[in-house]
Amino acid sequence: MYLSLIAAALADSSVRTLSQQEELPLLRDHLLRLDRTSRRDRFHGFMDDSFIERYAEKCADDGTVIIAFFENGVVRGAAELHPPDQSRDSLPEIAFSVESSVRRRGVGSILFRKLITEARAKGYKSLRITTGAQNDAMRALAAKFGAKLVFRHGESTGTIDLTKYGEAELARSWTESTLSGMRTVVAFNRAYWRMLLRMAGAAPPERGAS
Ligand SMILES: CC(C)(COP(=O)(O)OP(=O)(O)OC[C@H]1O[C@@H](n2cnc3c(N)ncnc32)[C@H](O)[C@@H]1OP(=O)(O)O)[C@@H](O)C(=O)NCCC(=O)NCCS
């Protein structure tokens, strides 16, 4: 028990694009770890394991870029950049998933920024995002990056204009976001350490605790 708390406090994290060979096993296992509500939000209602397995296979096959957030060697978050199809008005589609154990620590924002950098490097001018109308977390994340979502057929859909992101702005935002992510992780870890020390009787009880 103490060892797992210490391991959590010392969690090691990084963000990088997966190689094509990594995509199938790492993306699949991450998506399979999503709980029911997250699966519903991520896949618009499709939730069974076999659907997720087929989905990961398709991503590994069709040129989808996966940017992954690793914690202690395990993928806990992913940003997906799907290439446009052949039709004239098709746009690259994006999607995000962060496991509940690491949510609201800036992981989604860090993945979003990295995805914008990758998309610009590929020469894309805009991206499309679609999410459930009730998905407040994804709507908040998308709004942070300038997506204007409109409600259509029970879903919120919108585009992100990549031409308005300057290199300097992205570099600055990336540093700020990484720092803020790190601060969040440090704050999170500090809480763990305080709890650990309290359990060991080496720190005063929380204010207000009896
Ligand atoms: C949507 C999701 C990727 C967000 O990931 P995350 O790592 O928690 O995001 P962040 O911590 O970077 O938060 C981004 C912003 O959204 C806000 N936010 C996050 N969760 C929220 C919630 N439940 N309600 C309202 N706002 C929320 C944060 O406050 C933050 O805004 P701020 O920087 O101005 O404070 C995550 O909740 C998820 O994976 N959900 C399940 C799958 C899903 O719905 N995918 C979307 C389909 S494409």
What are the structural domain ranges in the chain? 16-199
The token pair at 111 is 């993945």
pLDDT (tens digit per residue) in 43-99: 988 789 999 999 999 999 999 999 999 999 999 999 999 999 988 889 999 999 999
Residue partners of 41: CB distance under 8 A and separation at least 6: 131, 132, 135, 137, 138
Global pTM value: 0.81
Closest CA to 108 of 144, 58, 72, 150: 144
Closest CA to 22 of 30, 32, 11, 14: 30
Closest CA to 155 of 125, 128, 116: 128
Give the position, in ligand 1's atom list, of the atom nearest the Cα of 99.
Answer: 39
Closest CA to 141 of 163, 111, 165: 111
Give the position, in ligand 1's atom list, of the atom nearest the Cα of 135.
Answer: 44
How many angstroms separate the alpha carbon of residue 123 from the centre of ligand 1? 27
Mean of the per-residue pLDDT values for the chain?
Answer: 83
pLDDT (tens digit per residue) in 174-195: 555 555 555 554 454 455 445 4
State the architecture of 16-199 in CATH terms.
Answer: 3-Layer(aba) Sandwich (3.40)
User: With 90 as the cut, is the pLDDT of residue 143 above it?
Assistant: yes
